Structure 1
Amino acid sequence: MSKLPEMPREKPLSPNFSSGPCKKRPGWSLSALEGAVLGRSHRSAPGKAKLREVIDLTREVLGIPEDYRIAVVPGSDTGAIEMALWGLLGPAGVDVFAWESFGLDWVTDVAMELEIRDRRIFDAPYGELPDLSQASSDRDIVFAWNGTTSGVRVPNGDWIADDRTGITICDATSAAFAMDLPWAKLDVTTWSWQKVLGGEGGHGMIVLSPRAIERLTDHVPSWPMPKVFRMVARGLVTDGLFVGETINTPSLLAVEDAIDGLRWARGIGGLPALKDRCQSNFDRAAEWVRQTDWCDFLAEREETRSPTSICLKIVDPKFAGNAEQQSKVAAAVVALLQEKTVAFDVGAYRVAPPGFRFWCGATVETQDLVLALEWLNWAYHETRGLVSA
């Protein structure tokens, strides 16, 4: 190991690096919520107008095609993806690609809950991608664009066939507003407000292509459908859902916060500016990793490394192959960073390999990340000697 670093003198202005709910946008305050429609029904004209504004701003900022339907749904990204799985799967065989905890949750749904017999599961350990070339154009595909708990993303959508007959269902919760999503390749795309734009939890977004809408109307699931998953009534798509008539009661306070985040995104230059902010954060993190001898990206291949959910592993020879000791030192470092109020919630996901996870989405300021990583290096050297090899 190199010479022990001194404790940094400067702290990040914001120590919030949680991967969800994520840091609020720069300059956010409670005054951003003053326009919220409170004490009114979400089915009132003002309530529906707010929900419609979320839909319209989402389409504008992300450049979603006009013939794609967009809806606000309950249950965060999980609710949105479950709605898609339960409502659209069944007519075709299903290929599920998973390489971290949430992708494995969708494997459980397909295999254990829906019990789809014609299924193929392609998985990979944390830090790697499964073989995407195995995707078949005549089968449905389920995958996460960006693995929030592994820091591994698909590099592009080239592996999805343009002439496919199956549909694609993409969990894009930590990719939307940060990466280019090829809408022509995606039939169902989901995310939550709490990620790249720093919104509140509890609500999800679902985007459906014309092909997905056709599947909804042509296919009747063989399993019982919970009310919150139903997008079809009496054989017809519930059109109101896509203009702000939500299935259940949303928080109009959270809706106002989502509008604020979308307006901020539009105001700084839309998706290109959001991507630039994420890339700036990633570039500085990559520079730090190159200069650090005890730490590396969990993602093995450079082209698959996430610019939003940056997951780091300990490669110090002192703890080589000893996950228990790595867990101990990582926990001690996370506790020290929190004690010093310089970085909160930066431990690896509970079932991921031991290490650290920094959310680096568009709301995170690059200089705050730079300072936090300096503190991470100091904290590691402070605690390393306290854990026996």
Structure 2
Amino acid sequence: MSHPTPDIRPANPRFSSGPCAKRPGWTLAALEGALLGRSHRAKDPKAKLAEVIDRSKAILGMPKDWRLGIVPASDTGAVEMALWSLLGARGVDILAWESFSKDWATDVTKQLRLADARVLSAPYGRLPDLAQVDPARDVVFVWNGTTSGVRLADADFIRDDREGLAICDATSAAFAMDLPWPKLDVVTWSWQKVLGGEAAHGMLALSPRAVARLEAHKPAWPMPKIFRMTKDGKLNEGIFRGETINTPSMLCVEDAIDGLRWAESVGGLPGLIRRSEANLAAVAAWVERSPWAAFLAEAPATRSCTSICLRIVAPWFAALDAEGQAAAAKKLAGLLEKQGVALDAAAYRDAPPGLRIWGGATVETSDIEALLPWLDWAFAQVATEFDKAAA
């Protein structure tokens, strides 16, 4: 098997699913306004932190009565704060269909050790049975499976008259997908995903219902300082005005502001969604005519426009054992990296062997289109090598 070497290369080969590509045209000059060597509690740095919060809320169309804060430890920290602070008041359902959602299930069942916890799971490529979600219970879920490329098509499984809280990890969905705020109570994300910001900081959004739970519910376990969102039984409002729990990086804050301003320049949330969906559409058109690649997400409506996960369906690949499939997929991603056309495009380590191409809004569709012929080229090289080995 052979395939001609493509003539065109992506202008930007960065297709990592996190940290993700910087916005088009980004240079270090974007950070020149950073307030370095300053206390984050001073007036001007605190105003920068508040700017991140205010611009984020405006772009995302978050309801005015929601709180949004900057918290430690990226999206993971934001999710952990929600789980440790809010759960335990009633039973909880955890939806698990990829690596990170399985991590949240582990936290709830093995670390918090909640007795009344149900894990509703599905294999990579599918969603759990959403009809099993009980509106009387809390529910924890990801909106977009970063490691599986499977996203929720809608939130119809969440009742408007629910008694429990809907806690949503939206880190690879926020700014690329339209989140239905009335259906949600807690939403988390990080700067290094769709807007390509620098890592280590998380965003935690709380509905009035979530705030009421925080003020009424006292967890049965000790709460580390970085998880505490209440003081004397009341919400610590300062967290949601830019008074962070721990010291933030003002360099990262400046970068986040730059990303948000860029988002506004491309049309806000509708523009960001259009950019991500265009990337998915380009890959989908290629997959449609590909003899060897398919989406890991089985249902078209659940295919992610950010973490686009592909599996290999060639007969020779299917005939390999698990170790052989992993080796072939690794070889494929390695060839793309060696050619400098796709960096960090291998599937997540716990996912089925294949490729994962980030299609978030900071990625140009022209770069996706330039990459696709290289996927065919690299596959042909790997197929030839493994055919020879089999012979």
Question: Which runs of at least 4 in structure 1 moved beyond 4 Å after TM superposition?
Answer: none
Q: Secondary structure at the match of 1:125?
A: coil
Picking from 151, 154, 164, the partner of 1:153 is 151
Deviations 1:198-255 (A, max 9, x none): 0011000000000000000000000011111110111111010000000000000000
Unaligned 5+ residue runs, structure 2?
Answer: none
For 2:372 and 2:350, the matched residues in 1 are separated by: 23
Q: Deviations over 1:20-70 (max 9, x none)?
A: 000000111111111111000110111100000000000110010000000
Aligned to 2:48: 50
Whether 1:240 aligns to 2:241 is no
Aligned to 1:354: 353
| In 2, Cα distance between equivalents of 1:315 and 1:333 | 14
- Would the aligned equivalents of 1:329 and 1:380 in 2 still touch at CA under 8 Å? no
CA distance in 1, matches of 2:325, 2:368: 23
Q: Could you tell me the TM-score, scaled by structure 2's length?
A: 0.98
Q: Quick check: 2:2–2:384 contact (8 Å CA) kept in 1? A: no
Aligned to 2:121: 123
Q: Of the candidates 100, 103, 113, which is equivalent to residue 102 of structure 1?
A: 100
Q: Which residue identity does 1:98 align to in structure 2?
A: A
Where does 1:343-382 land on structure 2 (aligned, <5 Å)?
Answer: 343-382=342-381
> Distance in 1 between the 2:286 and 2:326 partners?
22
How far has the Cα of 1:324 moved from its partner? 2.2
Query: One-letter code of the match for 1:356?
Result: L
Letter in 2 for 1:55: I
Corresponding position of 2:227: 229
1:257 deviation in Å? 0.3
Aligned runs of 1:75-224 on 2, under 5 Å? 75-224=73-222
Kindly report the root-mean-square deviation, in angstroms, between the aligned alpha carbons of the 2 structures.
0.8
Residue 321 of structure 1, CA deviation: 5.1
Asked if residue 291 in structure 1 is aligned to residue 289 in structure 2, the reply is: yes
Distance in 2, matches of 1:371 and 1:329, equals 23
CA distance in 2, matches of 1:91, 1:335: 48
Structure 2 partner of 1:325: 324
Alpha-carbon distance between aligned partners in 1 of 2:237 and 2:311, rounded to the nearest angstrom: 46
- Counting only pairs closer than 5 Å after superposition, residues 247-326 of structure 1 correspond to structure 2 as 247-320=245-318, 322=320, 323-326=322-325
Distance 1:51 1:220 in 2: 29
Give distance in 2, aligned partners of 1:59 and 1:267.
16
> Matched residue of 1:20: which SS?
coil
Amino acid at match of 1:355: G
8 Å Cα contact 1:342-1:372 kept in structure 2: yes
Deviation digits for residues 291-311 of structure 1 (CA, Å, limit 9, x no counterpart): 111110000111111011000
What is the TM-score with the length of structure 1 in the denominator? 0.98
Q: Which of 20, 45, 61 is matched with 1:63 structurally?
A: 61
SS of equivalent to 2:385? coil
Identity of aligned residues (%): 59
CA–CA separation in structure 2 for the residues paired with 1:180 and 1:12: 28
Which digits, 9 at most, give the CA deviation of each residue in 1:132-184, with x for residues without a partner? 11111110000000000000011101110000010010000000000010000
Equivalent residues of 1:17, 1:360 under 8 A apart: yes
1:363 Cα offset (Å): 0.3
Question: Which amino acid in the other structure matches residue 379 of structure 1?
Answer: A
Q: CA deviation at 1:197?
A: 0.3
2:333 is paired with a residue whose SS is: helix
CA displacement at 1:4 relative to structure 2: 3.1
Q: What CA distance in whole angstroms lies between the structure 2 residues aligned with 1:374 and 1:344?
A: 15
Residue type matched to 2:244 in 1?
T
Q: Which runs of 5+ in 1 are unaligned?
A: none
Number of aligned residue pairs: 387
Which residue identity does 1:153 align to in structure 2?
R
